Amino acid sequence: MSALTLRNVGKSYGALDIIKGLNLDIRDGEFLVLVGPSGCGKSTLLRMIAGLEEITDGTIAIDDRIVNDLPASKRNLSMVFQSYALYPHMSVRKNLAFGLQNLSMSKDEINRRVDEAARILQIEPLMDRKPRQLSGGQKQRVAIGRCIVREPGLFLFDEPLSNLDAELRVQMRVELAALYRRLKTTMIYVTHDQVEAMTLASRIVVLRAGKIEQVGTPEELYTRPANLFVAGFLGSPKINMLPAMVDGDATAPLAKMADFPAFTLPALSTAARDITICVRPEAIHLDGGEVQATGTIRLVEYLGAERLIHIDLPSGQTLLFHATGPDQHVVGDTLQVGFDLADMHFFDADGVRMEAAIAQAA
Amino acid sequence: MFRFLRRNAAGYVFLSPWLVGFVFLALGPILASLYMSFTRYDMVSPPVWDGLGNYQYMFEHDRRFWKALQVTFTFVAFSVPLRLAMALGVAMLLDKGLRTIGLYRAIFYLPSLLGASIAIALLWREMFGVDGVVNGALAMIGIEGRGWITDPDTSLYTIVILAMWQFGSPMLIFLAGLRGIPRDLYEAAEIDGTSKWRQFWRITLPMLAPVVFFNLVLQTIEAFKTFTSAFIISNGTGAPADSLLFYTVYLFNEAFKFFRMGYASALAWVLLIIIAVFTALAFATSKYWVHYENERD
């Protein structure tokens, strides 16, 4: 197992900054997921940790040893690539053994490790096949096996499930989680899929434009997003964002939103200013809630056990409502919906979470 | 039948320029040469049927035929591997992501365009002559040169060097092949601590095998057909001491110098069979060393 420390890490291509002054501590044995939209620098960061990209600024330390100038092979890590990077001309067994043959390791030890990895990943019947004879999921297992045999201190995963179909992705996600529990090795996992991030991670790092937006457990990020970007990025269906204005005196600030009656934010001692109030779709109540509005159903997305209902409010803004009850809703119906103060997230004009406001409001 | 023609008429119309060219310019002469190979024909009087006479003479009595085979086989054995190695080496250098790669590609390809020309063959003869620049350069480092082309022991190898220098076409194909190897295979190998040397043998070469195979077949055929350089450098005779008696030079002389067109046709058919056998051998052995990523088992 390995711990990682990133200090003021930067990466530039000419004048283009991909990663900017990034600081991060990755704990020994944790499953850290780097998540963010395309182009946010998450894969670049992973490749910098791997030693496949040079670091422009700052330091990366593995177990307190700065590895900026250390070649990838000396960093005691393994990486699973998005494309699996299996050698197409080698059998599964040779693919697994290839990396070990670079080490001065006996054949018996190589065979032991290869067989052990094959057993863990249940690919024993596939050992003599070539990668082209494997399904996507089997290829993925071999790619992971190639990492396991090296018994590294750190596993790196670069969007490993993105080439799989939806069903297989769920299955492999479960298997990866089981593998992590079994190996207890530090894992850094890059994905743009928030479901993967939420289900696999001990902690999530949300990146945007080469900067960290928030670091925390999946629950922390979901229940207390640090800013509007994180609030909007994590959670499916997407969080409702409603612009509001805070007015009134300091002891009883009044929140004014289009379509909703004004309501008091207890003891929010600020002058009038623009804020955004966010509410998760599952926190919306039908015919209830402390703050209510009336709207018309524009679209019903039937998902089996649940339905996503898009409600047009009179001002033109849309509210997403996550319905799980037995009620049948039809496009064009008028609904009374509402939510409670405790379920609201407040963000200032810069998109930063207003911690005090929610504490007092709650 | 008519329905078939009507349905495919447009296709045949588009195909017709090639079809006409093939039938009259290729298939006709090919069949004519096959017929002539069984005749005695001096281009003046009509061909006289001789059965297998030409072939019998070739294999049983014609020493120069065997000499021409020996020269040509030696040339193929040296020039093909050397040219391919040179082409692969330069392609790997150019595959390093240079900004001016287009320029370098053009520069390195240039000898292939010029190499088969008469001018270059003449230049080669001057360079490797007794008073040529090669001996001049050797003299500067104290080595006494020789008549590289006039010496039967070395003349063939000057042409091997000329052939090696014309690596442009296989280089371009290698370069395309190298570009097709996924980078992450090398990155995975790098993380595993695989040396560059081992990466070359265990990743680059096997991944390039289909391209190597293609180049090998093409260059072998090319080498068997080598004519211009040998003809010019040896003044069309195969001299000195028949050391440059390439098969095609011998064939040309039999046809157009001695007007033994029937015998020359037989020589041509034997060359065709030799090339076909080599190509078939390459295909037959390819399953042991050529890996195709998309092939189905």
Given this model, what pLDDT does residue A163 score? 84
In the predicted structure, residue A138 carries a pLDDT above the cut 50? yes
Q: In chain A, which residues have their Cβ closer than 8 Å to the Cβ of B202?
A: 87, 98
Would the CB atoms of B190 and A73 count as touching at under 8 Å? yes
Q: To the nearest whole angstrom, how far is the Cα of A315 from the nearest Cα of chain B? A: 52
Distance CA B196, CA B96 (A): 14
Joined together, the tokens standing for residue B50 give 């001789």
Tell me what pLDDT residue A1 has: 66
> B100-155 pLDDT, tens per residue?
778 888 888 887 777 567 777 888 888 888 888 888 888 888 888 788 888 889 88
Mapping DSSP to helix (H, G, I), strand (E, B) and coil, where does residue A71 land?
A: coil
Average pLDDT, integer, range A68-95:
94
Q: Phi and psi for B97 in degrees, rounded to 5?
A: 80, 35
- Chain B residue with Cα closest to A101: B194
Predicted confidence (pLDDT) at residue A350 exceeds the cutoff of 90: no
Answer whether A72 sits within 8 Å of B207, measured CB to CB: no
* Residue B60 neighbours by CB distance under 10 Å: 8
Residues of A in contact with B295 (CB under 8 A): 132
Tell if the CB–CB gap between A83 and B190 is shorter than 8 Å: no
What pLDDT, on the 0 to 100 scale, is given for residue A32?
Answer: 97
- All residues of chain A having their beta carbon less than 8 Å from the beta carbon of residue B294 are 132
B291 interface with A at CB cutoff 8 Å: yes
Q: DSSP string covering B113-152, please? A: HHHTSHHHHHHHHHHTSTTSHHHHHHHHTT-----TTTST
* B24 part of a folded domain: no
Task: Say yes or no to pLDDT of A357 above 60.
Answer: no
B54 within a domain of the structure (yes/no) = no
- Closest residue of chain B to A53, computed from CA coordinates: B187
What SS3 state is found at A297? strand
Distances A205 to A112, A187, B237, B280 between C-alpha atoms, Å:
36, 13, 78, 59
Residue B15 lies in a domain: no
DSSP B250-288: HHHIIIIIS--HHHHHHHHHHHHHHHHHHHHHHHHHHHH
How far apart are the two ends of chain B, measured CA to CA in Å?
Answer: 38
Lowest mean pLDDT among A139-143, B28-32, B165-169: B165-169
**The domain A4-232: what is its CATH number?**
3.40.50.300
- pLDDT at position A327 is 76
Query: Helix (H, G, I), strand (E, B), or coil: what is residue A213?
Result: strand
By the CB < 8 Å criterion, does B126 face chain A? no
Q: Count CA within 13 A, CB hemisphere, residue B179.
A: 12
Indicate if A238-361 has the same CATH topology as A4-232.
no
Number of structural domains in chain B: 1
Spell out which residues of chain B touch residue A50, defining contact as CB-CB under 8 Å.
187, 191
Which H or E run contains A7? Answer: strand A4-13
Testing the interface with A: which of B181, B183, B186, B192 to mutate, by most A Cβ within 10 A?
B192
Residue A46's SS3 state is helix
Q: What is the pLDDT of residues B265-288, one digit of tens each?
A: 999 999 999 999 999 999 999 988
Residue ranges of E strands in A176-312: 186-191, 203-208, 211-216, 240-247, 254-257, 263-264, 273-279, 285-286, 291-302, 307-312
pLDDT band at B2 (very low <50, low <70, confident <90, very high): confident
Assign A336 to helix, strand or coil: strand
Kindly report, residue by residue over B188-227, the tens digit of the pLDDT.
Answer: 999 999 999 999 999 999 999 999 999 999 999 999 999 9
Question: Does the CB of B144 have a partner CB in chain A at under 8 Å?
Answer: no
Q: What mean pLDDT do residues A163-188 have?
A: 89
Residues 6+ apart with CB under 8 A from A319: A240, A242, A284, A293, A295, A310, A311, A313, A337
* C-alpha to C-alpha distance for A230 and A35, rounded to whole angstroms: 10
pLDDT at residue B20 greater than cutoff 80:
yes
Position A286 scores a pLDDT of 87
A88/B184 CB distance under 8 A: no
- Which candidate from A50, A82, A130 shows the least CB-CB separation from B191? A50
Could B195 and A51 be called an inter-chain contact, meaning their C-beta atoms sit closer than 8 Å? no
Alpha carbons A320 and A311: distance in angstroms, whole number? 6
CA distances from B265 to A131, A159, B27, B44, B181 (A): 50, 64, 14, 16, 44
Q: Burial of B172 by CB count in 10 Å (0-12 exposed, 13-18 middle, 19+ buried)?
A: middle
CATH of the domain at B218: 1.10.3720.10
Tell me how far the alpha carbon of residue B137 is from its chain's centroid.
Answer: 30
Would you put residue A41 in left (φ > 0), alpha (ψ -120 to 50) or beta? left
Tokens standing for B146? 């020789």
pLDDT at B292 exceeding the cut of 90: no
Pairwise CB contact (< 8 Å): B187 & A85: yes
| B18, part of any domain | no
Residue A241 exposure: Cα atoms within 13 Å on the Cβ side? 18
> Looking at the predicted structure, is the pLDDT value of residue B1 above 70?
no
Quick one: pLDDT band at residue A355, thresholds 50, 70, 90? low
- Cβ atoms of B261 and B36 closer than 8 Å: yes
**A120 closest CA partner among A92, A95, A149:** A149
Distance CA A310, CA A304 (A): 16
Angle of helix A136-148 versus helix A166-183 axis, rounded to 10: 20
B206 neighbourhood in chain A, CB within 8 Å: 87, 89
Q: Tell me, what's the pLDDT at B194?
A: 93
Tokens found for residue A338: 């509402």
Interchain proximity A85–B188, CB inside 8 Å: yes
Using pLDDT thresholds of 50, 70 and 90, give the confidence band for residue A360: very low
B294–A81 C-beta distance less than 8 A = no
Q: What is the band of A266 on the pLDDT scale with cuts at 50, 70, 90?
A: low
Q: What's the one-letter identity of residue A295?
A: G
CB-CB: which of B190, B203, B209 is closest to A87? B203
Rounded average pLDDT over A71-99 = 94
List the domain range (segments joined by +) for residue B107: 62-289
Q: What is the mean pLDDT of residues A38-61?
A: 94
- Helix B155-165 vs helix B118-127: crossing angle, to nearest 10: 130
Residue A323 has pLDDT above 80, yes or no: yes
Q: Tokens for A213?
A: 């937006």
- Do residue A85 and residue B198 have CB atoms under 8 angstroms apart? no
Task: Please tell me the total number of residues recorded for chain A in this structure.
Answer: 362
Residue A7 pLDDT exceeds 90 = yes
Whole-number mean pLDDT of chain A? 89
The Cα of B287 is separated from the nearest Cα of chain A by a number of Å equal to: 12
Interchain contact B274–A (C-beta under 8 A): no
- Cβ B185–A85 below 8 Å, yes or no? yes
The chain-wide mean pLDDT, for chain B, equals: 90
Within the 44-83 window of chain B, which residues sit less than 8 Å (CB to CB) from chain A?
none
Q: Where are the domains of chain A?
A: 4-232, 238-361
Nearest to A85 among B182, B194, B202 (CB): B182
Residue A126's pLDDT is: 94
Q: What is the CATH number of domain A238-361?
A: 2.40.50.140
Residue B200 lies in a domain: yes
